[in-house]
Each structure stands twice: as C-alpha cells, then as structure tokens.
Structure 1
C-alpha cells in the first residue's frame, strides 16, 4: 500500500512545487468545444514554480526512503521541507505520514503548517482537533471542530472530553461555554448534543443529561452511545427497568449486533444471566465469531458452569480462532478440577501472545509443586530458545517460582544466568537482591541495588529496598534515612515507602514522627508487616491497647505471617494474643 502512496506523494509534491505560486493565481482552464475531426486542444500551460535547489535532494531522499520502507527518514525530510517550502501539499504528506507512524508531536507540527496555508481545509482542521483533543487540549481543539461542523461534515465533539475530569475547573467551564455557543449555531447536531449530555452526566446532573438525550433521539433515535448513556443514568438512579429503551430498539432492530454487543457488555456488570442470553443471541447470529465464544466461555466460567465454558473454548479450538486464549482458560478450568496433567498440556500450547507469560507461570508452578524440578528447567530453557524476545521475563518467572517455593539457591542460579545474558536488567538484579537478602547475603543484595541506582538514580523502589534493608539488618540508619527520604520525594504516597520511613525514624528514636508515617502507611495498605511495625511503635510508646487492636486485625487477615509472628514473639506478647477468639497463632517452628 505504501509503495503506491510514496509514488503518489512524490508526484503530487513535485506538481505542487512546480505549478503553484504563493503570489500568482492559477488561471481557470478554457472550456474547449469538442468539434468532430478537430485535433485535441492543447492543454493550458500552468505557471511554473521551480523547486529551490536546496530542496531537490531532500525531496528525492524522502521519495527513496519511502520506497525502501524507511518511513522515519522520509518523515523527517518531508517535515523539514514543509517548514522550508511553506507548501500545503508537502505539509499534508508529512501529516499523513506522521499519523501513520503514530508520532503525534510531528503530526501536530505538520498539520499546523498545513493550516497556516489552508486555514479552511476540513481534513486539516479535523486532524488538528483530533490531535489536540488527544493531548487533553480541548479549548484549542474546539475552534477546529467548529470549522469541521460548518462544512457539513459530522464533527466528533465527544473527543473533546478525553480526560475531561483531569483538566482544571476553569478550563472545564470555558469548554462548556464554548460548546453552549456552538449549540446556538447547531441546535440539532447529534454529536454536540451527545457531548453536552456526557458533561451533564459527569457532574451528576442527570435530568439535564436526559433532556439532551431526548432531543438527540428526535434526530437520531438509534444513536448507540446515547442509548448506553441513558441506560447508565437510569442504573444510577436505580430505576426498575433501566434498559427498557435499548430493549425496545433491539426488538425493532434485532440485527443491530453492535448495539446488542454493547448492551451485553453493560449487563455483565449487573446481571450475568441476562448478559449470557444476549451473547447467546449474538453467537447464534455469528456462530464462528471467536470473540463471542470467548465471552460466553468466560461468563459461564464466572457462573460456575465449567462444562459449558469448556464447550465454547473447544469450539474456538475447532475453528482455530483465538486458540491461545482457549488453551489458557481450558488450563485454568483443568487446574480448578485438579486435572493437573491436562492443565499442563493446555498451557504448553499457548504461544507468544497476551496469555503467554501467565501460562508459563502457572505451568511452572504446577511442575514445582509436583516436584518436577528438572522438567521446570528444561521447559524454561526450551522456551527461551523458542521465544528469545521473552527470555528476560522467563528468567524472572522461573526464579520467582523457585524462590516462592523456598528454593533460594536454585532461584539465585537462574538469576545469575539471566543477569549474565541481560546485564542491564533492572528486574533481574532487583529479584536477585531480594533473594540475597533472604539468604542473608547483604553484600550481594546491596551490590545489585547499587548497580540499579548507578544506572537509574531515581529508582524509588531500589532506594526504598536498600534503605529498608539497611534499617532492618544493619546499624547504618543515617544512610538508610537518606535513601528512604529520597524515595519518598519521588513517590510520596507509596505505602511501602511510608512504612520504611516510619520504621527508620523509630530505629533512630524519633517515635512521634514514626507514628505519623506508619499510621498513613497502614491506612493506605493494611498489610501484616506494616501492622507489625505500627503495633511495635505503639507498644513502645505505651499505647498497648492500640497496638493489640492493630495486631489482632493483622492476625485475622494472616495468622501465620512471619514478620508479624516474629515481632510478637520478640516482644513477648504472642501468648496474650493466642487466646483471642479468631486469632489463634500457629505454633512457632
């Protein structure tokens, strides 16, 4: 497709440069009378504009780059010449190519040059509006949308609401005012009415939103987005039959599969049985649609009907459509039914795609739990050979499975091999640092975290991990405080970092400050380890009643958490909590 476009672009470009002038008007061609026997009329010569000598080579370079498929080089050349030549043809080519390459900054630059030369061009205005809306600059996009609307082309006004709740309120107000002005000009524009309805719904102004929808339905009674918004409004207002309008439209238009699909998806949030019914209608209409079969399989699995789910998944396999998902979910069902060999067989057939890593993780877990360690190694080695682009992730999965099962030495060997293959891998080095900490090899732990920080000084996770370990396992508390403080600057609301800050402050004797951080951490993330820290600080501060309540809650969540149990044992309070109802602590090993 793009070889043809390259030739067209080049011809159009050279024609535009050679035949137009910014200060000359093109004469209207004379109308010739076709007289029998007369010779074809000579074409009216067009005024010529020579290509500047400095632009000839860049334009030829762009043409040959397009022919080679080197679109980035072509775009750079076209964009440069668009700036130099001030030619609408060149600017439009640069815009189209930048959009094809999904380079929004260059697309916007090119289309702005195009608009300077052709401010009323509908395509250019529509492109600029779309790009600006995508960058959450709706106020700049709105005038371009208005140009499109005035050309009798339907403008996509709802695009202006991308990220609407994230722009400052004054800008929201300006956008609403601008839309209201346009409604005076286009009172029955369906996209404009839809946009206003969406804004009213965003502000919980449901009657006003419904009023806009009612007007819209007089213009376009089958507008899908409007029907779905109306249903959501009625759901929010807890009406007894929130989907009655959609159901009436589908009754009259049973072949409207797109609306039925959106309706079915909406039902999955409220009524799985009704959703399944709609998906079954869709599947009957399109029996070989793998997307619908997968939806039906997942809905039936959600409803606990694995037999029907398997039937749909096997139907996908028979059609050879979305086979990876089919094998993955068949593996999940087999696991649930304790049919581990079948699960492994299905996971092994998942090829590189969305489910690939998850399938490998589950397969490896089954093999490790059944003691098949050599098979684990053989499988992951084979996968790294078969899918080399996934090697780094596969090393990480294999090592994580081994360390989670308590095989720290084997996990570290896998990570050593992974880091030898990927020496700049932050993920593998971080994983090895955590294994090193578990093995009490703090030298290795610190070396790996320091290596990460040498490459990425602002890695908040590595800063926090090193600071927390130095707090917990050494007396280097001043150094730990510096590291954790830097991590907190980078990520001030992260509960793990708040916990580390509270813990290091406690270790430095700054109890009141410590409580502030630990309380915030526990409120955001009530993890048993955070509970252990908060409880210990409360206990040390004399508030044993509050400490006990915190520990009780954590024990109810995880009665065998190692850090929590070690804390209680060290403080001599585990026997007290052991007798509390529902918080029996397992015997210490």
Structure 2
C-alpha cells in the first residue's frame, strides 16, 4: 500500500516538475529571474495536502477531508477550510461539512464566509431553528452597510424549506435585534411579512406590511409586499396603499397597484391611478399601454387611441423582447378599435406594423376578425386554420380560438371537432373545459355540459365562472330556477362586482317574473360594463315592462357595441323589433 501511494505521489509530482522545467527552458538565457513569492507551506504540510487531494481523487473523500481539515486547523487558513467544506458537500456529508464550517468559524472568528456556509448547511439538513440562530449571528457580524441587502435576501435563502411556518418563526426570531434598529426596521418587517405570506399566515403578513410601512413610509419594499397581499381583500392593505399613492412612488409600484385594482374589479379606481401615473411619469411606456387598454375596455375609444399611440411611439424601435410584446399588444388593440369603428383599412394597417416576433396564432385571429367584418367568413376560417403554431401552447390556443370562432358562427359541430385535438392532453385545463361546456350548450347537450361545469367547480371551487355559467344556463332555459339561484348567488359571493354575473342574476329575476328587480340589476350591470349581451337582456326586460323607448335606446347602443352579437340579434328577431 505504501509503495502504491509513493508511486501515485511520484505520478502527481512528475507533471509539476516537467511543467517547471519546460517553463524555464522556454525563457531566453538573458531574461532576468522573476521574483518568487514563496509559500509559508513546509514540506510536511505540502505532502499532507497532496495526500488529501489524492485520497479525494481516488474515491476516499473521508480520508481526504480529514487531512485537509487538519491542515486548515494547523494553519488557520480560510482557503483550506473552504476546501474541506467543499469536499464534505461533494460527498453529501452534511454533518462533516457543518463540522468543518464551525471549526473554520472558531479558528478565524472574524471571517464572515463560514457564516454563509453554516446557514446553508443547516438549512440543507433541515435544522431550521439552528439555521435561525446562525442567521442571527451572520447578520449581527455584517457591516452596517451590508445588513439591509442581506435581510432582504433572506426569503430566497429559506425558499426551499418545506415547513414555511417554522421558517417564518425562525426568521422573525433571528431579526429581533434588527427590529430595534431604526435603519433596518422597514426591511426587517418586510422580510418577516414575506415569510409569513409564504407560510399562508396572511393576518401576520398584513400586520408585518403595516409595521414596515409605518417604520419608513417612503420605503418601496413594504409597498411591494402590500401589493402581493392586495388579492386577500384586506381593507387595511388597501387603505395603506391608497395613502401611499397620495405621495410619490415608483412608476412600477403605481402600475402594480392599478393592476391589482383591476383584478379586484375596481376599474374606476384603477383608471385614476393610471391617469396619475401618466402625469407623473410621462416617459414610462408600460403605463400608457395599460391606461389605453383600460380606457378601451371602458368604451373611451378616443382617449384609448391616444394612450396606445403614445405607447407605440415609445416602443416602436426597441429590440427588447418585452417591449416588442407590449408594442404588439398596443397595435392589436388599435386595430381592434379601428375595426369597431368600421375603419377596416386602418385596422389592417395597424396589424401590418406588428413585429415579426409576434404570436402567429394571435395575429391570425385578428386578421380573421377583419375578414369576418367584411363578410368573408370562409376566408377567415382558412386564415385561422393555416396559422402555424410555434409551441405546444400556441397549438392549444389555436384549437381553442378556432373552436370559439366556429361556435360563435353557428358551427358548433366543427367547433367540437376542433377541441378533440387538445382535450386528451388538457383533461383538467380550465380554459379548455370552459370552451367545451359552451360548445356542448350550443349543441343542446345539456347533461354533458353540466357534467363539464361540475368538474370545473371541483377543480376550482373558488372560481365564480362555472357557477355563473351553469346558473345562467338553467335560468335561460327556465328550468330548476331555485338551483339556478343558488349557483348564481354563489358566483355573486365570489365576484360581487362582476357585471356579467350581475347580468345572470338580473336575467334570473326576469325568468322568475320579478321584472322591476331584474331591470334595476341589469341597468346597474350595463352601466358598469356596456356590453351587447347585457344590452340584449336589459332591453327585453324594459320592453316587457312597457318602456319601449328605453328598450330601443339600449338595443341601439348594443348594436353599436357589437352588431353581430348572437344574443342581441336573436332577441330582436324573436320580438320582431328593428331599433
């Protein structure tokens, strides 16, 4: 064994000798001798390190680790300690790695690097409470200038811990001294809030966000945390953000708040934030895009066109992929508005400016819509069918879009065939199942439709749309009205401000014979969201109440919004009305 080891040592040493010889031989004889930095390493230590590395290479990492760690302790050398830790980690020996890191810290107390290793190793071996103690030591020993950044990075360090609640407790305990430091309070409370949020301890997360903001009202971190908590519906969080938005905030934060308000079905509040954003940050391109889309959604087509054109001018020449995507979004919207106003050539010109990187399926959809408005429906279907998807997601979207198109053009059987291509791969896909239910309803296969909607309710019990769809279908057919009421009221509970769900509720009341109540509900829904289908329902209720003038006005507005809306055109044909 000794002979074999000596032979290996010779093999390891021989290349070093040859390299040294070749370098010396390559230099001209007249060249001055380079200065030499001699190591403090003696021969005994050199051979110990060499032997340790050879053991590692030969498959005996335990022996190599022991030799390297012993050398590190003798020399109090950080590089050797780090190498010992790495050997232990590579051999998946967490306890040995921890032993080396802790020894490193004992021998060189002023070193900060061992703290990082100790923390990561403790997390890897799932000793969360010990990791919290190590975190506390690590932060306390950092220079003041580095503490804020380190505290903000803690949630990423603990991201892989399975027990989120235990991790949150450990982190809050570790930050107890930072919470007493005025300069660190806001960051510490924000980090605690993020940990509590990730642990689904939402009341504690909300309290932490408020504490963070109170510690430093100008800090952006607490506001970003609050934005992530806005979907909880907390009145305290909304009040905190409303107050913060009265002062100067980063453009991205105000835009984030506007998006959050849109998700909470508060478009009016969102619009005010976006208008303020455009005034305070006129060079912030994303703000103009979202402002234009909201204005368009509200039917304010003139202001929407100006906002979107502003965004186009700001992003037209950018090669950034995100900006090209937002440019595509703006051009698509401008094309759609031009189409709504009958400016079909202009609509096509907007589409011609879309970057070549745009989604081919989405572009085909817009071109198909233009062809349809010109009465070229067959050509539109061809354009959609010939779109070349570049990804599985685009294949899925193409099939969904083609199905919607065919369904809306009274070709439900073809729509059903289109969906079959993706149903096998999308058995639990919410969007695909929703489209399937609509196709089945068109085919009057109501039992199958109900089965699909019930599956959707099981998959996403907090999504209001399946409840609304089934409730509306029952009400529209005048069957099982009490069950329809239960379903629609559940949808209202989940999304009380959704005008389309309110439309279903109003239509239910109409079917139940409560005309005045139906008219009030539908009128409020129509004011919240001018839409052709809501106009069809409101107009019929008003017509039935004998308010023909009001009914005709609403129907005319509906036709301006979407002249080919199936519900509206069917209603007018059934009542024999030409507004």
TM class by smaller structure: 0.5 to 0.7
The answer for the alignment partner of 1:143 in structure 2 is 133
The answer for the alignment partner of 1:228 in structure 2 is 219
In the TM superposition, residue 341 of structure 1 has moved relative to its aligned partner by 9.2
Q: What secondary structure, in the 3-state scheme, does the structure 1 residue paired with 2:321 have?
A: coil
The answer for the alignment partner of 1:515 in structure 2 is 485
The answer for the alignment partner of 1:478 in structure 2 is 447
The answer for the alignment partner of 1:371 in structure 2 is 344
The answer for the alignment partner of 1:250 in structure 2 is none
1:555 to 516, 526, 530: 526
Q: Superposed, which structure 2 residues align to 1:42-441 within 5 Å? A: 43-44=43-44, 45-47=46-48, 48-49=51-52, 50-51=54-55, 88-90=85-87, 114-115=97-98, 117-119=100-102, 122-123=112-113, 125-126=115-116, 141-149=131-139, 151=141, 156-157=150-151, 159-160=153-154, 171=166, 174-175=169-170, 178-179=173-174, 183=177, 191=184, 195=188, 204=207, 228=219, 269-271=245-247, 302=276, 309=282, 348-366=316-334, 369=339, 370-372=343-345, 375=349, 379=353, 383-384=355-356, 387=357, 390-392=359-361, 394-395=363-364, 409=378, 411-419=380-388, 425-441=395-411
Structure 1 gap ranges (5+): 1-14, 20-39, 57-85, 95-108, 214-224, 233-264, 277-298, 314-321
Distance change in 2, residues 1:159/1:348 (3 Å): closer
2:472 to 493, 500, 503: 503
User: Following the alignment from structure 1 to structure 2, what is the Cα–Cα distance between the partners of residues 534 and 579?
Assistant: 22
In the TM superposition, residue 404 of structure 1 has moved relative to its aligned partner by 9.0
> Could you tell me the TM-score, scaled by structure 2's length?
0.54
CA contact (8 A) 1:392 1:422 kept: no
In the TM superposition, residue 459 of structure 1 has moved relative to its aligned partner by 0.2
Query: Is 1:443 equivalent to 2:434 in the alignment?
Result: no
Could you say what the CA RMSD is over the residues aligned between the two structures, in angstroms? Answer: 5.9
Q: Which has the higher contact order (CA 8 A, sep 6+)?
A: 2
Question: Which digits, 9 at most, give the CA deviation of each residue in 1:301-352, with x for residues without a partner?
Answer: 848769x95xxx5xxxxxxxx9x889989x999x859789998776643434
User: Following the alignment from structure 1 to structure 2, what is the Cα–Cα distance between the partners of residues 300 and 491?
Assistant: 31
User: Following the alignment from structure 1 to structure 2, what is the Cα–Cα distance between the partners of residues 452 and 172?
Assistant: 41
User: Following the alignment from structure 1 to structure 2, what is the Cα–Cα distance between the partners of residues 137 and 202?
Assistant: 24
CA contact (8 A) 1:461 1:487 kept: no
Question: Which digits, 9 at most, give the CA deviation of each residue in 1:209-253, with x for residues without a partner?
Answer: 899x6xxxxxxxxxxx68638999xxxxxxxxxxxxxxxxxxxxx
Question: Which digits, 9 at most, give the CA deviation of each residue in 1:457-498, with x for residues without a partner?
Answer: 110111122113323x23311111111111111211222222
Higher alpha-carbon deviation: 541-550 or 511-520: 541-550
User: Following the alignment from structure 1 to structure 2, what is the Cα–Cα distance between the partners of residues 390 and 440?
Assistant: 27
The answer for the alignment partner of 2:565 in structure 1 is none
User: Following the alignment from structure 1 to structure 2, what is the Cα–Cα distance between the partners of residues 555 and 538?
Assistant: 16
CA contact (8 A) 1:470 1:477 kept: yes
Structure 2 gap ranges (5+): 1-8, 14-39, 61-82, 106-111, 194-203, 224-240, 252-272, 296-301, 557-571, 573-577
Distance change in 2, residues 1:535/1:41 (3 Å): closer
Distance change in 2, residues 1:404/1:132 (3 Å): farther
User: Following the alignment from structure 1 to structure 2, what is the Cα–Cα distance between the partners of residues 207 and 371?
Assistant: 51
Distance change in 2, residues 1:189/1:485 (3 Å): same
CA contact (8 A) 2:500 2:534 kept: yes
The answer for the alignment partner of 1:3 in structure 2 is none
User: Following the alignment from structure 1 to structure 2, what is the Cα–Cα distance between the partners of residues 360 and 208?
Assistant: 41
User: Following the alignment from structure 1 to structure 2, what is the Cα–Cα distance between the partners of residues 110 and 391?
Assistant: 51
User: Following the alignment from structure 1 to structure 2, what is the Cα–Cα distance between the partners of residues 346 and 149?
Assistant: 44
User: Following the alignment from structure 1 to structure 2, what is the Cα–Cα distance between the partners of residues 379 and 500?
Assistant: 38
CA contact (8 A) 2:289 2:330 kept: no
